[in-house]
Structure 1
Amino acid sequence: MDFINTIGTVAATLTTLAFLPQAWRSWRTRNLAGVSLAMYGFFTLGVFLWLVYGILLSQWPIIVANAITFVLSCSILFLKIRHKDVSHHPHP
């Protein structure tokens, strides 16, 4: 793997790993009071477009990272929409 691909792979890994704590906390507590629905909606759309971009370029670091981030982001967005009425009352 050349230097440029190494940078891309490390960047993709770090930005994807950054979503794990938020996704885990969201699924565990169901408390999404501090999560902006508009921000996650736009973010999820942006991640999806990055995924399409990576597919069109056949760039695996972009594809894998954004596929994982897209799933995590969709899960948080789903929880935010589903639990918007109970976001101030976390489940045990």
Structure 2
Amino acid sequence: MELDFINLLGFVAACLTTGAFIPQVIKTWKTRSTGDLSLGMFLMLFLGTTCWFIYGLLKMDFPLIGANGITLSLAFVILYFKLKELKKKAV
């Protein structure tokens, strides 16, 4: 019973932290604007999530791989638009 609760807690945490990016990705995709987003924060998040993803691969921990793979993809979309916007401003 305790293990079921622990697994459920981990699943809920993974869904919430991964899902937290969805509203920002949708807003960024629609507006094509990332002006108020911190590049440093998203770079650190992207690198940290990449490390967690690789860690999950090395440990063959599929929940870690899945949650961080999705988060990595969502963070990449935001980071792509942020870098594209910065490049446009530099020109």
Taking structure 2 as the reference length, what is the TM-score of the superposition? 0.86
1:30-41 maps to which residues of 2 (within 5 A)? 30-41=32-43
Equivalent-residue separation in structure 2 for 1:83 and 1:28 (angstroms) = 14
Aligned-pair RMSD on alpha carbons? 1.7
Deviation at 1:46, TM superposition (A): 0.2
Which structure features the higher share of helix residues? 2
Contact kept, 8 Å, 1:32 with 1:84, in 2: the verdict is no
1:8-27 maps to which residues of 2 (within 5 A)? 8-27=10-29
Equivalent-residue separation in structure 2 for 1:7 and 1:57 (angstroms) = 20
For residues 4-56 of structure 1, what are the alpha-carbon distances to aligned partners after superposition, in whole Å with 9 as ceiling and x for unaligned?
22211110011111000001101110111111111111110000111111122
1:69-84 maps to which residues of 2 (within 5 A)? 69-84=71-86
Runs of 4+ in 1 over 6 A off after TM superposition: none
Per the alignment, residue 30 of structure 2 pairs with 28
Where does the alignment leave 5 or more consecutive residues of structure 1 unmatched?
A: 88-92
Where does the alignment leave 5 or more consecutive residues of structure 2 unmatched?
A: none
Equivalent-residue separation in structure 2 for 1:56 and 1:86 (angstroms) = 38
